[in-house]
Structure 1
Amino acid sequence: QYRILERMRSLGMTTVLPAFAGHVPQGILRVFPRVNATRLGGWSHFDCTYSCIYLLDPEDPMFQVIGTLFLKELIKEFGTDHIYSADTFNEMTPLSSDPAYLSRVSNAVFRSMTGADPEALWLMQGWLFQHQPDFWHPAQVRALLHGVPLGKMIVLDLFAESKPVYQWTESFYGQPFIWCMLHNFGGNHGLFGTVEAINHGPFMARRFPNSTMVGTGLVPEGIEQNDMVYELMNELGWRQEPLDLPSWVSRYAERRYGALNAAAAGAWRLLLRSVYNCTGGPLVRRPSLHMDTELWYNASDVYEAWRLLLSASAELGSSPLFRYDLVDVTRQAAQQLVSNYSLDIRSAFQRHALPELLTAGGVLVYDLLPELDSLLSSHSLFLLGRWLEGARAMATSDREAEQYELNARNQVTLWGPSGNILDYANKQLGGLVLDYYGVRWSLFVSVLVESLNSGRPFHQDEFNQAVFQVERGFVYNKKRYPAVPAGDTLEISRKLFLKYYP
């Protein structure tokens, strides 16, 4: 923490420290039995074993005591740039929708900040307003925001490229806000991005009546993916008007690869007009007969971009960034092929066409997924072993290393003891595709084949119970995965292209 803050300040960055949001552990009732604290509900699909934290009443004297003392100690330890973050109700339903109560809560949080630093400025995520729109009506939003003096709070309009909150809150009712691009959930792999909304959104927000926008921001849940989207968003902070995206992305390809190549530029223009929107694919979702496999773009554009990149490989193949992009585009094309085979599997099963089911399932499980796994394993940034070794490297003992690896496996699969947020942080990594997604799909095809052979109907609930054992087994598996790449990316991509190009 010391090193991070020192480096940020040396670069002229303004640091943000956490403040007290009102949450306390259950143990406070033992130490201070008269304190007024109420237990909140569960978070997401987790029960109270892992959530249901306590919230101090804003008028309880301990709120100010704890909040101010905490921040004073933090400032004493790390210094301050006078901006503090606190999110009392992020994805948590408040105890009351009474505007007076909500105003008291935000006022209590802010007073605990100014008790330690009279120059305090509160930085708050605006995610809660679009996440629970049934609760956060205009009166409730206004009350929470106006519990703090105008100008003493900055709101992050967290998902502004898709669900901007400023538009229906009159620019957060006078509080300054930052137009943010969220873009990525869970660190998922996949070519996507709402580039048209990103290109125009910040300028629309600045022109909005009585706009209180003060900047732009990046708030992804995961990085190391879709570099183009982030370069675009960062550049917009220096622009006075939207960019000509086709021209911009052609220049982006030249900058990225260090050479002007017509095929590479053409590939990026195709990706720009097609895949850069936002959704997911069936490869990384638990198999089902009712999966939504509809794409939001013309799949042929991605296949053509794949062809163009391969045609540019003779000139650009030595570029590390080109090789990364070739893996990523090939991976996206393979993901589309998985969608196609999943549809073939569903159609064959519904028509009781066992030979066709065996053919489609066999190609998917025994050809495409292993070959995709080999492709991913050829690049260091697409390795499960690298992900797991990174987790183990944080440990200070062998026992910690085992726990951290288990957590890393759980995060990209079940996310919780019983699949509470199943596949939320899915990744397409060498090792994971073969030993997790591949095994799931293999079981799915086997169960469907058995259903046709026996005449017994397929039941999704029964399959979910069976496949959970596969998923849980992967989390607790001790298999070691390589943290260094193997194979030639260009050769593997070319072989996949020759075999599968439509």
Structure 2
Amino acid sequence: MEVVTVAVALGFLLLVGAAGSAGDEAREAAAVRALVARLLGPGPATNFSVSVERSLAAESGLDTYSLSGGGGGAQVRLRLPRPLPAVPGELIEATPNRYRYYQNVCTQSYSFVWWDWARWEQEIDWMALNGINLALAWSGQEAIWQRVYLALGLTQSEIDEYFTGPAFLAWGRMGNLHTWGGPLPHSWHLKQLYLQHRVLDRMRSFGMIPVLPAFPGHVPKAITRVFPQVNVTQLGSWGHFNCSYSCSFLLAPGDPMFPIIGSLFLRELTKEFGTDHIYGADTFNELQPPSSEPSYLAAATAAIYAAMTAVDPGAVWLLQGWIFQHQPDFWGPAQVKAVLEAVPRGRLLVLDLFAETRPVYLYTASFLGQPFIWCMLHNFGGNHGLYGTLEAVNWGPKAARLFPNSSMVGTGMAPEGINQNEVVYALMAELGWRKDPVPDLAAWVTSYADRRYGVSLGDAEAAWRLLLRSVYNCSGQMCSGHNRSPLVKRPSLQMNTTVWYNRSDVFEAWRLLLTAAPTLAASPTFRYDLLDVTRQAVQELVSLYYEEARTAYLNKELVSLLRAGGILVYELLPDLDNLLATDGRFMLGSWLEQARAVAVSETEAQFYEQNSRYQLTLWGPTGNILDYANKQLAGLVADYYAPRWQLFMEMLANSLTQGIPFQQHQFDQNAFQLEQAFVLSVERYPSQPQGDTVELAKKIFLKYFPRQVSGSLRQTDHLKPCSP
């Protein structure tokens, strides 16, 4: 039997920590062996010999792997070759940084909220395979808070009124929201506690460091009933919500209850879950502090840290640095300094959350010496839409390491939502182990295509190079990470269709993938990518037909308006919905079934489903953050986006025929009725895929490529043959 020996990690895939006991080593080795069996099956897994040896990392203190053994000459693919490929000698590699971080507080709500243990197990395996060693573990904390609030004298009804619904917990935890979408059922707390125990056990078995939550200072309003003398400040509203759901109460840092509540929570939390001594807390996330005085900001920061160390003297505070870049007018040098210097140096670990686009370390002197992690945020709201800043991602970590007096200690992936743009995360994960950037991204993405599909094929490689130079090469002001396509927005005559790339590159990549389809159609990853690129091409077509319709309306050309609007509403959007229905990952039914599966009764199932529908669409009761978490899902396109577009085109046509101006305000009111009806609907949607992705993608291509792409696009976007 050919055997590959893996010391510390599964080749270039898995890491473990650089410190620990012999018992830890045995546990981590067993965890890796179990992962290999889950990934490859019990038979092929026997070809791997796994050991964990702390001595490999002892000298540098950095995570290290060693790979040796094997035989034969085949290239490693998704399907293991037989015999295993030879490893030339022994390969030893150490990461350049201490941490490879994963998650955003918002990921917990946009992507993880309805997960069961089976889905969490897959994710933790992915984390291990991609070298993650530091990640949030925030499930179950509301159950702990409930214990604390009951102990403090709050009633169950007061606690129920305070918590948000499951789909909005991230913002409840950061003090942005309360009450909205709630209350949390009793069964929710029990299931989340169970889930958190399993998540923590598996993460720790891989040598990862779970980050637990700490007290950020926000309290329920009912605390003032129990303690009438307590000193609290009501903060301003957030996200177009009124104070019925926002305007949280912040405990004054000098109030005697601050350390009591903070230590009560952390003591109860660590009693339940243990600790790895790193805690997250975000007090002013997108919230204006009650004072800009440095003394106040320092006191507020120090109070949070003091509550941590009262329970855990070795506590390290993980802080999202988003606050400093989100409100730059408030966070001047004095205010930033007050926060950063209120915690002993080395005990505040800052996430430079959006560093690929707006790095904060540059204007804070490397966070005044506090250690920080260079993070790629990439995606807001879990939107679909091909997007990336791969050049900035590639060069950013090294630039941060070389910054004068740099205090960078790691790299991180901090998307608000996952399950999109896998190539971006593949590059970022690799950079966690590279000392230097990838020297040639075009060559890298070519190799990525080969690895992804298990075969080298020129058309597929060329398609990926075109995507690299277009949708994945954003730079400048347009790189928000948020999909603002007219497809997923409430229509108006002022919609911006500008993109940072040549649409022709997307259409040509689409054509090349279809050319490769006869060879690659059996590959699940290829079929996913073909659907995703076709979806993106349809998104581009929506913009073009919208432009035609708007121009026709402004020119008072009713026939042209009806033509463009008719194609968009009655052909293009139904075609997209049918295509999305060929893959369960792009189906509203799958999304809603996840939510319903958490429930223990039909009443709960309907409640969770409505939470999920709200998040995808209105976000709040009146469309407070409308379409922020937009997705392109079968069912959502047909029953939410398409009816809005139909209404829009009908009202434009009526405006022309009646000779009156288009009334946007009236349209918005009518559109809200459609949106609200969708959210409140109890219609069930299929969760099993129907149709063939390749065949439908081909039909859409043949239908629209000659009609629109080679027609109006040639005039507006300079379509020409592209040599990759």
Same fold per superposition (TM over 0.5): yes
Aligned to 2:159: none
The partner residue of 2:672 within 455, 461, 468 is 468
The partner residue of 1:248 within 444, 458, 461 is 444
Where do 5+ consecutive residues of structure 1 fail to align? none
- Give deviations 1:117-166, integer Å, cap 9, x for gaps: 11010001000111111111111011011111111100000111111110
Deviation at 1:51, TM superposition (A): 1.2
Aligned to 1:69: 264
Deviation at 1:410, TM superposition (A): 1.0
Aligned to 2:119: none
Q: Which amino acid aligns with 1:312?
A: A
CA distance in 2, matches of 1:352, 1:115: 71
Aligned to 2:207: 12
CA distance in 1, matches of 2:684, 2:263: 47
Aligned to 2:572: 368
Question: Is 2:457 aligned against 1:261?
Answer: yes
Question: Is 2:319 aligned against 1:110?
Answer: no
Aligned to 2:354: 159
CA distance in 2, matches of 1:451, 1:71: 61
Question: Is 2:484 aligned against 1:288?
Answer: no
CA distance in 2, matches of 1:85, 1:204: 26
Question: Is 2:432 aligned against 1:237?
Answer: yes
**Secondary structure of 1:15's aligned partner:** strand
Superposition CA RMSD, Å: 0.8
Question: Is 2:314 aligned against 1:119?
Answer: yes
- TM score, norm. by length of structure 2: 0.69
Question: Is 2:282 aligned against 1:87?
Answer: yes
Q: Which amino acid aligns with 1:275?
A: V
CA distance in 1, matches of 2:388, 2:275: 35
The partner residue of 2:638 within 413, 429, 434 is 434
Question: Is 2:684 aligned against 1:489?
Answer: no
The partner residue of 2:550 within 346, 352, 364 is 346
CA distance in 1, matches of 2:704, 2:654: 28
Deviation at 1:495, TM superposition (A): 0.5
- Give deviations 1:326-378, integer Å, cap 9, x for gaps: 00000000000000000001000000000000000000001111001101111
* Of 237-246 and 267-276, the range deviating more from structure 2: 237-246
CA distance in 1, matches of 2:664, 2:470: 33
CA distance in 1, matches of 2:583, 2:277: 43
Question: Is 2:703 aligned against 1:499?
Answer: yes
Aligned to 1:176: 371
Deviation at 1:197, TM superposition (A): 0.6
Deviation at 1:72, TM superposition (A): 1.2
The partner residue of 1:132 within 300, 310, 327 is 327
The partner residue of 2:514 within 310, 330, 333 is 310
CA distance in 1, matches of 2:370, 2:457: 47
Aligned to 2:198: 3
**Secondary structure of 1:6's aligned partner:** helix
**Secondary structure of 1:206's aligned partner:** helix
- Give deviations 1:203-241, integer Å, cap 9, x for gaps: 100000110000001111111100000000000011121
Aligned to 1:24: 219
CA distance in 2, matches of 1:363, 1:417: 32
Q: Which amino acid aligns with 2:648?
A: F
Deviation at 1:90, TM superposition (A): 0.8
Aligned to 1:403: 607
CA distance in 2, matches of 1:94, 1:469: 36
**Secondary structure of 1:140's aligned partner:** helix
**Secondary structure of 1:155's aligned partner:** strand
Aligned to 2:505: 301
Aligned to 1:443: 647
**Secondary structure of 2:690's aligned partner:** coil
CA distance in 1, matches of 2:284, 2:468: 37
Deviation at 1:432, TM superposition (A): 0.8
- Does structure 2 retain, via aligned residues, the 8 Å contact 1:182–1:220? yes
The partner residue of 1:60 within 255, 260, 275 is 255
Q: Which amino acid aligns with 1:45?
A: H
Question: Is 2:336 aligned against 1:141?
Answer: yes
- Does structure 2 retain, via aligned residues, the 8 Å contact 1:190–1:280? no
Aligned to 1:383: 587
Aligned to 2:681: 477
CA distance in 2, matches of 1:421, 1:44: 6
CA distance in 2, matches of 1:123, 1:289: 44
**Secondary structure of 2:311's aligned partner:** coil
Q: Which amino acid aligns with 1:303?
A: F
* Of 278-287 and 184-193, the range deviating more from structure 2: 278-287
Deviation at 1:456, TM superposition (A): 1.3
Deviation at 1:280, TM superposition (A): 2.8
- TM score, norm. by length of structure 1: 0.99
Q: Which amino acid aligns with 1:467?
A: A
CA distance in 1, matches of 2:348, 2:394: 26
**% identity of equivalent residues:** 63
Question: Is 2:415 aligned against 1:211?
Answer: no
Q: Which amino acid aligns with 2:408?
A: M
**Secondary structure of 1:215's aligned partner:** strand
Question: Is 2:399 aligned against 1:195?
Answer: no
- Give deviations 1:39-97, integer Å, cap 9, x for gaps: 11111111111111111111111111111121111111111111111111111110000
Q: Which amino acid aligns with 1:251?
A: S
CA distance in 1, matches of 2:673, 2:398: 50
**Secondary structure of 1:156's aligned partner:** strand
Q: Which amino acid aligns with 1:218?
A: M
**Secondary structure of 2:624's aligned partner:** coil
Q: Which amino acid aligns with 1:99?
A: P
Deviation at 1:20, TM superposition (A): 0.8
Runs of 4 or more above 2 Å deviation: 277-280
Aligned to 2:470: 274
CA distance in 1, matches of 2:212, 2:603: 31
Q: Which amino acid aligns with 2:505?
A: D
- Does structure 2 retain, via aligned residues, the 8 Å contact 1:176–1:212? yes
Q: Which amino acid aligns with 1:263?
A: D
Aligned to 2:616: 412
**Secondary structure of 2:468's aligned partner:** helix
The partner residue of 1:422 within 626, 644, 650 is 626
CA distance in 1, matches of 2:574, 2:320: 41
CA distance in 2, matches of 1:407, 1:66: 30
CA distance in 1, matches of 2:387, 2:608: 30
CA distance in 1, matches of 2:230, 2:268: 22
**Secondary structure of 2:209's aligned partner:** coil
CA distance in 1, matches of 2:417, 2:545: 29
- Does structure 2 retain, via aligned residues, the 8 Å contact 1:413–1:425? yes
Aligned to 2:419: 224
Deviation at 1:15, TM superposition (A): 1.2
- Give deviations 1:462-496, integer Å, cap 9, x for gaps: 11111110111111112111001101111100011
**Secondary structure of 1:17's aligned partner:** strand
